[in-house]
Amino acid sequence: MCDICFAERGDKAAVETGSYLMPKYDSDGLIVAVVTDFETNEVLMVGYMNGEALKRTLSTGEAWYWSRSRQAYWKKGETSGQVQTVREVRTDCDQDALVLKVTVGGNGGTCHVGYRSCFFRKVDKSVSGDVRLVRTEQEKVSASIRST
Amino acid sequence: MCDICFAERGDKAAVETGSYLMPKYDSDGLIVAVVTDFETNEVLMVGYMNGEALKRTLSTGEAWYWSRSRQAYWKKGETSGQVQTVREVRTDCDQDALVLKVTVGGNGGTCHVGYRSCFFRKVDKSVSGDVRLVRTEQEKVSASIRST
């Protein structure tokens, strides 16, 4: 018995077009989770989950990840208040990726360097040589260095 | 000499807030690329690139990936016509993920099972037991099984 169960990986048709969540984990036991703003679809961050983090996310409605650098469970916003309330979870055709549509709590930021999205820089191809980045967000939502 | 060069990984500040693209590849030499619709921000697919695929993408303006299953370069849309014209590339704070904002050619689809987005199913928590999925796209853009 478990409160939340994932079906065993089925055949190609069951995985690609079926009606059961059958997550495929990589060799480290992780699945990539793309986190987007529920209202705007903007990509806020990319995180990784193991099966337990995914179960915690689905059962609590708040996003949990597996921190690859710290090798530990990580509830986003536990210290910063930037809790992610999960409004919708999607998976893709081969079920080796997730999209989380979230509403961000606290000051509304996601990135630990202070911006709303971790993707606050875009490639600038106007300069030759090394590829340059330019900021797309001019204002930080917080000056905090740590927003875990 | 190279037409497109990536800077060597710098210190934490250079990576997180600096002005040079310094991609971090995983143990397989790959970086995850989240592909979104340029107009709506909707997540269309998740792919993987090695350094060469990223260079081809930046130099041609059309998305190239590394197929993990086929262990080969893969220009999206080469056979299906669903070419991704890359309008913007972003990276995140630790530069181990990319977001591509694209315009999709051909019939406008992305998923090989025929839907606009590969993320055409969402988790349905209304049913107890195994986690169920429900479709979010009712209409396929194509009946084709292969849309590589």
**Closest residue of chain A to B20, computed from CA coordinates:** A132
Confidence of residue B99 (pLDDT cuts 50, 70, 90): very high
The answer to whether A15 touches A22, Cβ cutoff 8 Å, is yes
> Could you tell me the pTM of the whole model?
0.94
Query: A40-96, pLDDT tens digit by residue?
Result: 999 999 999 999 999 999 999 999 999 999 999 999 999 999 999 999 999 999 999
Q: Does B14 touch chain A (CB under 8 A)?
A: no
Query: Which of A71, A91, A86 is closest to A23 using CA atoms?
Result: A91
Residue B81: is its pLDDT beyond 60? yes
Q: What is the pLDDT of residue A148?
A: 56
Which of chain A's residues have a Cβ under 8 Å away from the Cβ of B119? Answer: 90-92, 97, 99
Confidence of residue A128 (pLDDT cuts 50, 70, 90): confident
From B19, B88, B97, residue closest to A132, measured CB to CB: B19
Q: What is the mean pLDDT of residues A136-148?
A: 72
Report the residue of A11, A20, A26, A34 to disrupt the B interface, i.e. the one with the largest count of B CBs within 10 Å. A34
The answer to whether A118 touches A44, Cβ cutoff 8 Å, is yes
Residue B89: is its pLDDT beyond 80? yes
From B16, B20, B134, residue closest to A132, measured CB to CB: B20
Portion 97-126 of A in contact with B at CB < 8 A:
97, 99, 111-113, 118-123, 125
Binding residues of B for Zn(2+): 93, 111, 118
Residue type, A128: S
The answer to whether B61 touches B84, Cβ cutoff 8 Å, is no
Report the residue of B46, B96, B128 to disrupt the A interface, i.e. the one with the largest count of A CBs within 10 Å. B46
Q: What is the pLDDT of residue A125?
A: 78
Domains and their CATH numbers in chain B: 23-135 (3.10.20.810)
User: Which of these ranges, A30-44, A94-108, B34-48, B132-146, has the smallest mean pLDDT?
Assistant: B132-146
Note the residue count of chain B: 148
Confidence of residue A17 (pLDDT cuts 50, 70, 90): very high
Q: What is the mean pLDDT of residues B139-148?
A: 67
Q: What is the DSSP pairing of strand B129-130 with strand A4-5?
A: parallel
Confidence of residue B92 (pLDDT cuts 50, 70, 90): very high
Rounded to whole angstroms, the Cα distance separating B95 from A5 reads 34
Portion 78-97 of B in contact with A at CB < 8 A:
88-93, 97
